[in-house]
Structures are given as C-alpha cells and as structure tokens.
Structure 1
Amino acid sequence: MSPAIALAVVVALLVIAAAIGIVLRLLDGRRRAGGHLRFDPADADSDRLGSRATLVQFSTQMCARCPQVRRMLSTFVADADGLDHLEVDLTHRPDLSTRYRVVQTPTTFVVDGSGAVRARFHGVPHRHALTEALAAV
C-alpha cells in the first residue's frame, strides 16, 4: 500500500470518528420516549415510588458524571412535592441493564406513580428537558 493511500485511510477514519463523536454529543442528555417499560421499585431496594413521579438514576461505581447527575436530581426532588429520587447501582445489579435497556451510565428515567417509564435520558439530562418531562407526568 502506498503512503498516500494509507494517509487517506487514516484521515477518513479520523473524520468518521469525529462525526460519530459529534452526533453522540448532540444526542447526550436529550429526552427520549420511555417506551413500554415499567419500573419496579424493588429493583432499587425500595418499596414505593413518589406520589407524582420518581427520578430513577442508573449509575456505576466508575461513572464520572453520575455524582453530577445525583446532585442535579436531588435539587429537583428538594424543590417539588410528590417527587422522589432512586439510584440503582448497575455494578451490583448488571441484570437490570438488560431488563431496562441501559447501555450507558448515567441513564435517568422519569417514572410516574404507577411505575410506567414516561421519559428517559442518556448522559447528563438537560435541565429544561427534565423540567418538561416532569411537567408532562
């Protein structure tokens, strides 16, 4: 293979990797539909959900952004009535990542009082999107 072709291949791979990174960054923190999932509070070692809604955070011990999300969700819970926050550590319960289709941490669910997942966020949720999701519950 000639050096020109090798250089062209390397440049093409770098461009593709940068494009994928930009797309993933743009999608990070945006609201997505919850689908037909139902969250069981027993999976978070809890016996109840919030009367209005529950913010369920899936995290791991090595997650760098999880403490930031935990603090943000705690401020939402402190400012609203009927809102609760549960955290599920997937390090100790990897089976839940398959059940709830969690592919990255942090992932946050907005769950209504009956356990239906109304919205989900991958990465750090945008504050306005989280506020809109809670208003819709």
Structure 2
Amino acid sequence: MSPLAAVLSVLGLIAAATVVGLVWKQRTGRVAPASGGAQIVSPADVGAAAPFGEKATLLQFSTEFCAYCPATRRVLGGLADANDGVAHVDVDLTHSPELAQRFRVLQTPTTLLLDGDGAVRARIGGAPKRAELEASLARILNGDAHVAA
C-alpha cells in the first residue's frame, strides 16, 4: 500500500468514526416511544422488591460500574418524589445479564417509562435529557396516547 493510500484510509476511518460518534451523541438521552406492541412489566419481572407506581414508573437499569447511573438515579428519584403516584425503581444488571438481554439493554443507564398498568411507553438509552423526560412523564400522567414528541 502506498503512503498516500494509507493516509487516505486513516482519514476515512477517522471521518467514519466521527460521524458514528456524532449520531450516537445525538440519540443518547433522547426519549423514544416504545416500539411494537405494549410490553407489560411487573416488579417480579425485574426482581424488584419495590412496588411500581400507581400512575407511572421510571424503571432504571444500571450497573455497578456505570458512570452516569448515580446522576440518573438522582434525577429519576427527584421526579418520582415530585409527582404523586410515580415510582422510581433501579435494577442493577451487573449480575443479571438475562435481564439485560430480555429488555434489550445495550448501555447503562437505560430507563423505561411505564404507565400505571406497567406498559412500556418510552425508552431512554443513556443519561436522560431532563426536559424531554419531564414532558414525556407529564404525557403519561395526563393519559396521552403518544409519549415522545
């Protein structure tokens, strides 16, 4: 391989990695409506001792080594405390890879927004963007059919 071809290959790899990184950053923390049919989740399904909320549940999947999980835990806990009938449940996946596979958790934190029936209404991969999360939770609490705008 000529030196010019090697340099062009390296520059191409850098450009591709930059594009992938920018797309990943743009999508991380965004509220995405649940895809497919409404999956119903119960506390027993995730091994949670804490009950789910009467109106909504912020179900956080985290791990022991997650850098963003403690801050996410504080944000979700604060939202749950500020809204009647809303619970925050944190599930540690460190020793439960079967749960990560079942709920398609590819990064931590991952948060599922559940309605009062335990139906998954939205999903957030990464640390949530607070304004989007609050708006989506308000939609669930108001009974709106669509969670994410």
Q: Does the pair score TM above 0.5?
A: yes
TM range (shorter): over 0.9
**TM superposition shift of 1:84:** 0.4
Tell me how far apart the structure 2 counterparts of residues 123 and 38 of structure 1 sit (CA, whole Å): 22
Aligned counterparts, 1:31-110, within 5 A: 31-35=31-35, 36-42=38-44, 43-46=46-49, 48-110=51-113
TM-score scaled by length of structure 2:
0.88
Picking from 88, 105, 124, the partner of 1:121 is: 124
Does residue 133 of structure 1 match 2:136? yes
Contact between 1:59 and 1:90, CA under 8 Å: does it hold in 2? yes
List structure 1 runs of 4+ shifted beyond 3 angstroms.
none
Q: Report the 3-state secondary structure (helix = DSSP H, G, I; strand = E; otherwise coil) of the residue aligned with 1:45.
A: coil
**TM superposition shift of 1:86:** 0.4
Tell me how far apart the structure 1 counterparts of residues 89 and 50 of structure 2 sit (CA, whole Å): 11
Contact between 1:53 and 1:111, CA under 8 Å: does it hold in 2? yes
Contact between 1:44 and 1:87, CA under 8 Å: does it hold in 2? no
In the alignment, structure 2 segments of 5+ residues that lack a partner are 141-149
Tell me how far apart the structure 1 counterparts of residues 8 and 64 of structure 2 sit (CA, whole Å): 40
Tell me how far apart the structure 2 counterparts of residues 66 and 47 of structure 1 sit (CA, whole Å): 18
Tell me how far apart the structure 1 counterparts of residues 112 and 50 of structure 2 sit (CA, whole Å): 17
Contact between 2:50 and 2:89, CA under 8 Å: does it hold in 1? no
The one-letter amino acid paired with 2:115 is: D
- Per the alignment, residue 18 of structure 2 pairs with 18
In the alignment, structure 1 segments of 5+ residues that lack a partner are none
Tell me how far apart the structure 1 counterparts of residues 117 and 78 of structure 2 sit (CA, whole Å): 23
Q: CA RMSD in A?
A: 1.1
Q: Report the 3-state secondary structure (helix = DSSP H, G, I; strand = E; otherwise coil) of the residue aligned with 1:61.
A: coil
